[in-house]
Structure 1
Amino acid sequence: MSTLNKLALLLTLLLIASAAESRLFGAFGANKKATTPTLTCFTPYGVQSGETCFSIKKEFGLSDDAHFSAINPNLNCDALFVGQWICISGSSSN
């Protein structure tokens, strides 16, 4: 068997093993559903100079911290900046 044939056989075996492995792991994850929340912002707001998450929630009467966090999942209240868009009214569903 020539070197080229051996290389082709080795590549074929690697491809078959890779396909089998992906099916194997896919079968284990098939029962799990990926849950990416669906976020909808009804009212965006641009942060003004001197504002904090607390002052914005107070200004707009947002008393539910969990809901505010859910509609602003990547918001870092310690690093707000002027002009940053946040959501003051919206929905979040899984």
Structure 2
Amino acid sequence: MARITIHKSTTFFNLVSIIFFVLMVSVVESRVVGRVPQRKPGLVCEKVVGVKSGDTCFAIAQQFKLTIEDFRFINPNLNCKALFINQWLCIAGKST
């Protein structure tokens, strides 16, 4: 008879533990889901140009009177060694 009691109390403890864990996860998730992410200041592109055959980053920057630093700043993820025809590049932007 003692063996059945131990088994029942272990099962009850496990059930209570699972319920507690589920409640804790739901509380934490509700706090994360309900949170509004803060927007980081960034740049909004206002004018773009399409890459033509033979274009380089330097040539496009010169054409639109940009320094290469400004050109790279408004096109942060651009790989100048892998430009492709009709790729859109930002040539004018403003901070948000």
How would you bin the TM-score normalised by the shorter chain? 0.5 to 0.7
Match in the other structure for 1:56:
60
Match in the other structure for 1:12:
19
CA 1:70/1:37 → structure 2, altered by over 3 Å: closer, same or farther?
A: farther
Deviation for aligned residue 1:50: 1.1
Equivalenced residue count is 82
Identity rate of aligned residues, in percent?
40
Structure 1: gaps spanning 5 or more residues:
27-32
Distance in structure 2 (CA, Å) of the matches to 1:70 and 1:36: 16
SS of residue paired to 2:85: coil
Match in the other structure for 1:89:
92
TM normalised by structure 2 equals: 0.64
The structure that is helix-richer by fraction is: 2
Deviation for aligned residue 1:18: 4.3
Q: Return the index of the structure with the highest Cα Rg.
A: 2
- Point out 4+ residue stretches in structure 1 off by more than 3 angstroms: 15-20
TM normalised by structure 1 equals: 0.65
Structure 1 vs Structure 2 CA RMSD: 2.9
Structure 2: gaps spanning 5 or more residues:
1-7
